[in-house]
Amino acid sequence: MKNVLEIAYSSGFWMMEMATDFPKIQFYGIDLESSAPDLVYPKNCFFGQGDYLKGLPYQSNFFDMVRLDMAHLRSLSTLDQILLLLSEVFRVTKKGGYVEFLELDYNSPLLRKLMKFPVGDSPKIDELLAERGFVNITNKKVAIPLRKGSMVGEFSLAAIKSFVETIGSEEDYNDLLHIVEEESEKYDSHINVFAGFCQKL
């Protein structure tokens, strides 16, 4: 393995960690806005800026692996945009290369709205990857509870509260927090995390 791409690298933490552990592999990242860390990062770590909604600025059959964390790709607001990106991912992935994907789903109506999830059922990323031509798709689901009394659940609720705090006034924030906590009890709210791999042959 020589070249790895992460789309929407966000903080860049994953890239830096992987580049440190695997110094002979070149790690590339692309995001809509340049958010490369200010700290010194490994020399085999390349943070780029570009509009991946209009295509990927890389040559075909270049990457041994591409990483897609759909939680960081909320800018993809339509199915056409998602399919375009997945077509580009297929193009830049080498034959025999892999795509790692992560996807989140919420069973709380308010959280789906806050996190900009579509109403009702929508195509899953594994289905869309298969439609674009990827094969050998494997996927595992882990359910993370969002309720008090569970260490993981309370941590997840705290993370969501931090997010809610950034999107409204203090009054809105308190109202939203109250509703989130009520929904967590009413719906036994949880986050479904889908993680898996697929391959281009």
H or E element at residue 98: strand 93-106
Strand partners, 198: 99
pLDDT value at position 155? Answer: 75
Q: Which helix (H) or strand (E) holds 182?
A: helix 170-186
Q: Kindly report the CATH number assigned to the domain that includes residue 55.
A: 3.40.50.150
Q: Is 196 helix (H, G, I), strand (E, B) or coil?
A: strand
The whole-number pLDDT of residue 23 equals 95
Does residue 45 fall inside a structural domain? no
| 102 within domain boundaries | yes
What pLDDT is stored for residue 119 in this prediction? Answer: 43
- Using alpha carbons, select from 17, 24, 116, 101 the residue that is nearest to residue 66: 101
Structure tokens at 170: 């203090």
Residues making up the chain, counted from first to last? 201
In a domain, 83, yes or no: yes
* b/e sequence 153-165, b meaning 16+ C-beta within 10 Å: beebbeebeeebe
Q: What is the pTM of this model?
A: 0.78
pLDDT of amino acid 95: 97
Residue 139 lies in a domain: yes
Q: What is the pLDDT at residue 120?
A: 45
Predicted pLDDT at 134: 97
What pLDDT, on the 0 to 100 scale, is given for residue 12?
Answer: 86
Q: Are 94 and 200 in contact (CB under 8 A)?
A: yes
Q: Residue 110 is part of which domain span?
A: 51-144+191-199
Q: How many domains does the chain have?
A: 1
pLDDT < 50 stretches in the chain: 118-121
